[in-house]
Amino acid sequence: MHQTFQKLSSIHGPLMYLRLGSVDCVVAPNPELAKELLKHHELTFSTRHHTAAIEHLTYNSSFAFAPYGPYWKFIKKLTTFELLGNRTLGQTLPVRTKELHHFIGILLGKSKSGETVNLTQELLKLTNNVISQMMLSIRCSGTVDQADGFRTLVREENEIFGYDSLLEKIMRDREELRKNKKPNDDDVKDFLDIMLDIFEDEHSEVQLTRNHIKALILDFLTAATDKTALIAVEWALAELINNPEVLRKAQQELDQVVGKSRQGSEGVIDVKGLHYQLLPFGTGRRGCPGISLAMQELAVTLAALVQCFDWNAGGGVDMSERPGLTAPRAYKLNCVPLARFTPTLFAT
């Protein structure tokens, strides 16, 4: 769709009015006009269009589609300063680091055996495991017993009752655990614990319901699974594989900054940025609250893939694109990882 809009703008100019079905739409594929609309007239565009399908699938309580008002402002503040704030990101860093190490370990194993790896699938597993542990303290992808159990639970519950029953079970199990556990200030709270704290607080600024919590879980799981950062890592690595001289330059820079014995970490590599040529996380009030987490994960994951491996894609990577909310690649990224070195963590 974005390519179609660009072609139309080359014919009709940098500001267009369209009707997408019954919905009025203004398209501004120009950085200056985008800035004018999103920065100086932001409130006009701060409410999302609702449909009956969205209301049904999100318990009519979605944060992503909530109108600009008290509920949206409360969840935005909660998300920015609690759920995805610096303190929480710092507390959950060991989870993200462990999952990245597990991911690199899988690739090292494939390298030793000379096997092709489906990087699209492995990156999705990495993302799923990180977000599911940060949100629910559950690891949902992999081969360990907990992951297999979670997938079995999801499959059985969905076949019989649908996702509502699954979410209810997760919430009930956590509530039962909280009853039998003594509070400890040193405990790292996940998303569900934070939401249940607010749900149980009679003096909360906004009184959350069970449906609010379910809708928010779906919002965040959906956004994280099909997130911009995951797609960006895949596109970036594909570009580097197709441009080996650029890949070599990136590897040399990482070798100089990080070294050849250790793997880069979030503390070593930090990227932030926003301008109106590209707005992958939106901007202003409706900007994605997960930008800090996404940018940390994007940088450290791509750096690890570049630093630790060369890549054999069998003659190059097809850069075709398929339709999707986040401009995904048309084909899976299948290639053979060739280890440049084994980080100290994995040395035997």
Q: Where are the domains of the chain?
A: 1-40
The answer to whether the CB of 33 falls within 8 A of the CB of 15 is yes
Q: In the chain, where does DSSP find H-type helix?
A: 2-12, 31-35, 52-57, 70-78, 86-91, 93-113, 119-136, 145-160, 163-179, 191-200, 210-225, 228-242, 244-257, 291-308
In this predicted structure, the answer to whether residue 166 has a pLDDT above a threshold of 70 is yes
Confidence band (pLDDT; 50, 70, 90) for 226?
Answer: low
Query: What rounded mean pLDDT belongs to the chain?
Result: 84
**Tokens at 294, concatenated:** 């996404």
pTM of the model as a whole: 0.85
pLDDT, tens only, 275-295:
777 777 777 788 888 888 888
Work out the number of other CB atoms within 10 angstroms of the CB of residue 65. Answer: 19
- Which of 76-80, 94-98, 219-223 bottoms out in mean pLDDT, i.e. has the lowest? 219-223
For the four alpha carbons of 162, 167, 169 and 172, in that order, the dihedral sign comes to negative
In this predicted structure, the answer to whether residue 271 has a pLDDT above a threshold of 70 is no
Annotated ligand binding at 140? The verdict is no
Amino acid at 153: L
pLDDT, tens only, 10-25:
999 989 999 988 888 8
In this predicted structure, the answer to whether residue 43 has a pLDDT above a threshold of 50 is yes
The answer to whether the CB of 264 falls within 8 A of the CB of 258 is yes
Which one is predicted more confidently, 144 or 69? 69
